[in-house]
Amino acid sequence: MAGEVAEEKKSSHVKILTTTNVKPKNSSIGKKECQLVTFDLPYLAFYYNQKLLIYKGVEAEFEGIVEKLKDGLGLVLEDFYQLAGKLDKDEDGVFKVVYDDNMDAVEVLVAEAGEIAVEDLTAEEGTTKFKELIPYIGVLNLEGLHRPLLSVQLTKLKDGLAMGCAFNHAILDEHAKSAANGDVAAKVDPPLREKVFKFSESAIDQIKSKINAHPSEGSKPFSTFQSLSTHVWHAVTRARHLKPEDYTVFTVFADCRKRVEPPMPESYFGNLIQAIFTVTAAGLLLANPPEFGAAMIQKAIDMHDSKTIDARNKEWESNPKIFQFKDAGVNCVAVGSSPRFKVYDIDFGWGEPESVRSGSNNRFDGMVYLYPGKNGGRSIDVEISLEANAMERLEKDNEFLMEV
């Protein structure tokens, strides 16, 4: 572990106290290289992925917790030493991850924000209050050529602890946050709002039951994901006030670990995901019952087999394109993350987090993150970024909110 550097960086609420570089405990790993694969390369022009975990009631033990977390990180890096490395390119311009024992490794910032309470953050609908709690806002994955691939900020709150993580999405996947399906004309981005809509276990069951109420002959039942995705796609399309002839795209990011040949283990660490696109006219989507949209999503997912994946990779390799995070499609609803990720099980010894949120990076009009609900069971939190006027209409949509 490198020595700590005192910082004088201040803001209205957060003060960075020290910056430490944490290395693998075993300091004799030596020089290692790992070439990025086709699945990884499109994400170089995305931003660092950001997550924020908020814990309550540990402020009195903050200093000891920080040291324990650093020590644990050093142990983890013995197996995942790539996170302590940097991006590099070989003589042919091929990107790779390189590690050497002399590198700075993972960056850990220690901060304090004595005026910010846990409740201030759990009540936050947008991401404004998170910006000083998570590193690398607006930093592209490509900057991993000269920045750490993982940065962690541990902030002492008035009554808890905030753990902000930023990791380079070109070298690992938690789940993709964007994709592309063609050229989109440049335009000024509209103002966005973010909000978390909480769907109880009962609401999720009602959504799924409604979409499965009238199955067609020979059809498969729609999953919870397909049902909720259709529910969100319909609601966002209504809120946007699109013309009937306007296209709308639903984008889902498929875990390809079990779809490729040969299948890869669930523990595969890199990006093994691809975007799956479903497109239709807004009028056609809304004029039909919800099972119409659900069937399109289901079919697109089912058809994304190893042959389709290989064809997509070969197409990209023949004409490489570094995607931008907004290239998810016209009038899109793009779903990332998953309620299958047990984020509320992240317990370092002082209990589960009060809240888990995404940072401000990689957000655009129509981006959706799904998380398991804090109350457990089948409850799901739906975090949506949407153009401000459309968001205002969505907030009043009782059909979407499952309110009578």
pLDDT in tens, 183-217: 333 345 668 899 999 999 999 999 999 999 988 77
pLDDT in tens, 52-89: 999 998 988 999 999 999 999 999 999 999 999 999 99
Q: What's the number of CA atoms in the CB half-sphere (13 Å) around residue 173?
A: 28
Which candidate in 71, 90, 310, 347 is catalytic?
A: 347
Asked about 169 being catalytic, the answer comes back as yes
Asked about 13 being catalytic, the answer comes back as no
pLDDT in tens, 275-333: 888 999 999 999 999 999 999 999 999 998 899 888 888 887 887 776 665 566 689 99
Q: Averaged over 328-353, what is the pLDDT? A: 86
State CA 220 to chain mean position distance. 29
- Phi and psi at 169, nearest 5°, equal -75, -10
Q: Which of 185, 176, 228 is nearest to 337 (CA)?
A: 176
SS3 content of the chain, % helix, strand, coil (to 5): 30, 25, 45
Taking the model in full, what pTM does it have? 0.78
Residue 148 has what pLDDT? 95
Tokens of 228: 């909720």
Which candidate in 169, 231, 234, 304 is catalytic?
A: 169
Residue 322 has what pLDDT? 67
- Phi and psi at 106, nearest 5°, equal -85, 135
Residue 176 has what pLDDT? 30
pLDDT in tens, 355-391: 888 888 888 899 999 999 988 889 999 999 999 999 9
Q: Averaged over 131-139, what is the pLDDT? A: 94
Q: Averaged over 233-241, what is the pLDDT? A: 97
Residue 183 has what pLDDT? 32
CA dihedral 148, 149, 154, 160 (to 10 degrees): 170
Residue 307, CA distances (Å) to 170, 181, 296, 311, 385 in order? 23, 19, 20, 6, 33
Q: What's the number of CA atoms in the CB half-sphere (13 Å) around residue 354?
A: 18
């910082």: which residue's tokens? 7
Higher pLDDT, 404 or 143: 143
Higher pLDDT, 29 or 176: 29
